[in-house]
Amino acid sequence: MKQEYTLTIYTENQVGLINKIAIMFSRRKISLESLNTSPSEIEKIYRFTIVVKETETVVKNLVRQIEKIVDVFKVYCNTNDEIIWQQMALYKVPTAIIMKEVKVERLLREYGAKAVVIQEDYTVFEATGQDEEVNNLLQELDKFGLIEFVRSSRIAIIKSSEGIHKKVLDMEKNDPTKQPINNEFLNHKSVIFEM
Amino acid sequence: MKTTVRSLKEKTKTINTTGSLAVIDALLSEKADTIFGYPGGAIMPIYDALYDFKDKLNHILVRHEQGAIHAAQGYARVSGKTGVVFATSGPGATNLVTGLADAMIDSTPLVCITGQVFAHLLGTDAFQETDIINITTPITKWNYQVTDAKEIPEAIAKAFFIAKSGRPGPVLIDITKNAQLQLFDYIGYRPCIHVRSYRAKPNVRIAYIEKAAVIINQAKKPFVIFGQGVLLGNAEKEFQAFIEKAGLPAAWTIMGMSAIPTDHPLGVGMLGMHGNYGPNYLTNECDVLIAVGMRFDDRVTGRLDKYAKQSQIIHMDIDPAEIDKNIQTTVPVWGDCKETLPLLTHLLDKKIHREWFNEFEIKREKETTVVIQKELHPTEGGLTMGEVINILNELTGGDAVIVTDVGQHQMVTCRYAKQNKTRSNITSGGLGTMGYALPAAIGAKFGAPERQVIAIMGDGGAQMNIQELGTIMQFQPNVKILILNNSFLGMVRQWQELFHEKRYSFTDIQSPNFVQVAKGYKIDGRQVSKREDLRESLKQMLDHPSAFLLEVAVIHEDNVFPMVMQGKGVAEIILSKEEI
């Protein structure tokens, strides 16, 4: 049965890595529901959050193949109940209409949205939540002359994970070239060719 | 440019050197002795540096970059060393693509160094610019573009480490011309032994080995299937000890062939679509299937939902991604089989499964009666491929390196060739690359100069990289070229006959006079079509002091059997076309 899986991938910060990861999916004709990439809490280590709708067998295989990429540290794969996840959305609506409509204010309170910019001709609201909340607000604001809308990709925190810090340290322990020093390596400057 | 590497090494302090010289020093430090390559504009500085090291690095100038990479593959497969390839940017680099894909799927360690346009020209559609990094990403184990000479020593060190460690594979390093020319402070070469985000092999888990041992000890009908992992792990002895202690019948995949001698008493033959009858059939009758260093390729498994369903499965592999990829395992034994096999062997009971082994014998007899006898010992009609291989076995005694191309001759050769020594079977297994044999044989000869190397190919494959005869002419590797000419693209024709109502759509390929072509390259040759001349002509080929081309005209429309047809289970293997 296909369902949503959130993959959390920790990688070296290297040019072209997004392609190396993306082709793992495109080769199997799997489309990405969402993709986010950003620096992690550790300097020079990046975190990808990818959402796919697939069967367990396919995702399991994918995870192992992605982990095989030389510059990938670790891949976590979680179902929605194993993660805390959010996405952000921006809504642009005509200021004139919302000034008149009392309802809008109530809506915004209901959805925890806030105004980011208020201009004479338009106002931009921001809301954070899961698909349902973002979509509901979208439907509501559509009634008030929504001009533009954008949503971010999903970001997720894994409920059970100990984080990557310890894992990377463990990996460093296998490094026969030097004694692991707590956290110090993380500030090492030439990470790509760290040997 | 006058600086020599020797003088570089004598000084411990940094030295001003060029990127190109750093490339050469890296290769020397990695003990590379042979490079297969082809120069061009964007790699000229490296070739210029190479000029001063002709006595240390044997550069083989091929006739096409595809020839270079297949030669490097042959070299790597026969020697166990990492093959090194040079090519220029653009078309030079793209010509490597087939070989990279082949090396990737067959886990062959290669380091390919390509030239690239100046860094400031990247992305401008400069002359001979091609985005080779993105092109080769799915078909390399790792690739990296160097735009600054300072990165060269580390990049090449990492390339050699990644190519050879764990499950081997091809690595491509793309070096922009400015980096090759650039002067930088060189502190000497440090080999790479660790990449923090890369785990070459998984940790061995003793619990799984113990569990596997219990299952094998309880088995009534255990069956071992093994692949190239045994060869890549240099674990031939460990493997032999393993099967011999527990009396386990063992069958090889095409890539695993020659890890044990083909006439080993426990060897029951080859798996796969055109493998032997017994091992295919009995896969579905064993109670424990032990897969060692193999990846359950679809040509081996046939239809997956009819594959060894009755059996418990123990999968030993160095690549965790292979476990449960195609076949659900009962016990995964992760790790290098060089380490895991002795641990497992230690826990096994000494046994002989005589009755079970007998079943393989019975199947073997049936296959011999229906297929093998008339293939190897025909008395009338045209020459068969099998009888050529049979006589070759008698003449070589099974000591030669056999390099095959792709198609009917490949299946026939791998079915019948006798091989006593490890790393004797060089073929394009996973990718099925026609045109592989000739260049791979050239590389194999440089990788194992003391061994007899025989390239066996069909008339189709022979024409696909025929330009490499020029390489033989220039560098004189003593390779024997045996063309089994059936005037067809035989394997495709076989399928057309069996599954497409004999509609021979463009499989009737014409060939030049191969002997004349060879003669043009100053290579001696001979054509043979009569049974009475066969043995003597093969002997002439083998005894010839230099390269020799022998073209044997074989039956035009012969089929390779047995066969596991597409979409069928392994136990549905057929011995003749009447069974279809």
User: For residue B349, is pLDDT > 80?
Assistant: yes
Interface of B with A (CB under 8 A): 133-134, 137-138, 141-142, 145, 151, 154-155, 157-158, 162, 190, 192-199, 319-321, 323-325
The verdict on A101 and A147 lying in the same domain is yes
The verdict on B52 and B143 lying in the same domain is yes
The verdict on B249 and B350 lying in the same domain is yes
Q: On the CB side of A181, how many CA atoms lie within 13 Å of its CA? A: 7
Average pLDDT over residues B111-117: 98
A147 within domain boundaries = yes
Closest B-chain CA to A61:
B325
Domain span at residue A178?
3-83+156-187
The verdict on B413 and B345 lying in the same domain is no
Residue B266: closest CA among B356, B400, B368, B342: B356
Residues whose CB falls within 8 Å of the CB of residue B433, separated by 6 or more in sequence, listed in order = B70, B98, B99, B102, B406
Instruction: Grade residue B199 by pLDDT with cuts at 50, 70 and 90.
Output: confident
- What are B432's two structure tokens? 């099925």
- Contact yes or no for A195 and B157 at CB 8 A: yes
Contacting residues of A for B134, CB less than 8 Å apart: 16, 19
Contacting residues of A for B142, CB less than 8 Å apart: 70-71
Overall domain count for chain A: 2
Residue B138: closest CA among B94, B100, B189: B100
The verdict on B440 and B538 lying in the same domain is yes
User: For residue B45, is pLDDT > 50?
Assistant: yes
> Residue A167 is part of a domain; what is its CATH number?
3.30.70.260
Instruction: Grade residue A105 by pLDDT with cuts at 50, 70 and 90.
Output: confident
pLDDT for A15 equals: 86
B373 within domain boundaries = no
* pLDDT per residue as tens digits for the range B428-444: 999 999 999 999 999 99
Residues of B classed as catalytic: 65, 127-128, 177, 491
The verdict on B412 and B525 lying in the same domain is yes
| Better pLDDT: A178 or B46 | B46
User: For residue B386, is pLDDT > 80?
Assistant: yes
Domain span at residue B230?
206-359
Instruction: Grade residue B205 by pLDDT with cuts at 50, 70 and 90.
Output: confident
User: For residue B12, is pLDDT > 60?
Assistant: no
* pLDDT per residue as tens digits for the range B503-540: 999 999 999 999 999 999 999 999 999 999 999 999 99
Q: On the CB side of A61, how many CA atoms lie within 13 Å of its CA? A: 16
pLDDT for B580 equals: 87
Share of residues in chain A with pLDDT > 70 (%): 83
The amino acid at residue B279 is P
> Residue A92 is part of a domain; what is its CATH number?
3.30.70.1150
Say whether B579 sits in a helix, a strand or coil. helix
Q: Is A67 on the interface with B (CB under 8 A)?
A: yes
A193 within domain boundaries = no
* pLDDT per residue as tens digits for the range B359-379: 999 999 999 999 999 999 999
Structure-token match 């060939």, residue found: B511
Q: Is A68 on the interface with B (CB under 8 A)?
A: yes
* pLDDT per residue as tens digits for the range A3-48: 999 999 999 988 889 999 999 999 999 999 999 999 998 888 999 9
Tell me the three-class secondary structure of B343-388, residue by residue. Answer: HHHHHCCCCCCHHHHHHHHHHHHHHHHHHHHHHHCCCCCCECHHHH
- What are A150's two structure tokens? 């954008």
- Contact yes or no for A195 and B195 at CB 8 A: yes
Angle of helix B490-499 relative to helix B408-416, nearest 10 degrees?
A: 100
Q: How far is CA A158 from its chain centroid?
A: 12
pLDDT for A171 equals: 62
The verdict on A26 and A47 lying in the same domain is yes
pLDDT for B342 equals: 97
The verdict on A11 and A79 lying in the same domain is yes
Closest A-chain CA to B202:
A68
Residues whose CB falls within 8 Å of the CB of residue B517, separated by 6 or more in sequence, listed in order = B466, B469
pLDDT for B8 equals: 52
- Contact yes or no for B319 and A68 at CB 8 A: yes
B561 within domain boundaries = no
* pLDDT per residue as tens digits for the range B531-566: 999 999 999 999 999 999 999 999 999 999 999 999
Buried b (16+ CB within 10 A) or exposed e, A91-117: bbbebebbeeeeebeebbeebebeeee
Share of residues in chain B with pLDDT > 90 (%): 94
User: For residue A162, is pLDDT > 50?
Assistant: yes
With contact defined as beta carbons under 8 Å apart, do A166 and A186 qualify? no
> Residue B33 is part of a domain; what is its CATH number?
3.40.50.970
The verdict on A115 and A182 lying in the same domain is no
Task: Find the CB nearest B196 among A23, A64, A194.
Answer: A194
- Contact yes or no for B320 and A20 at CB 8 A: no
User: For residue B182, is pLDDT > 90?
Assistant: yes
Measured CA to CA in angstroms, residue B113 lies from B43, B87, B152, B517 at distances of 9, 6, 11, 32
Closest A-chain CA to B198:
A70
- Contact yes or no for B321 and A172 at CB 8 A: no
Separation between Cα atoms, residue B219 and residue B186, nearest integer Å: 60
- Contact yes or no for B138 and A27 at CB 8 A: yes
Instruction: Grade residue A188 by pLDDT with cuts at 50, 70 and 90.
Output: very low
- Contact yes or no for A175 and B196 at CB 8 A: yes
Instruction: Grade residue A184 by pLDDT with cuts at 50, 70 and 90.
Output: very low
Task: Find the CB nearest B194 among A12, A71, A195.
Answer: A195
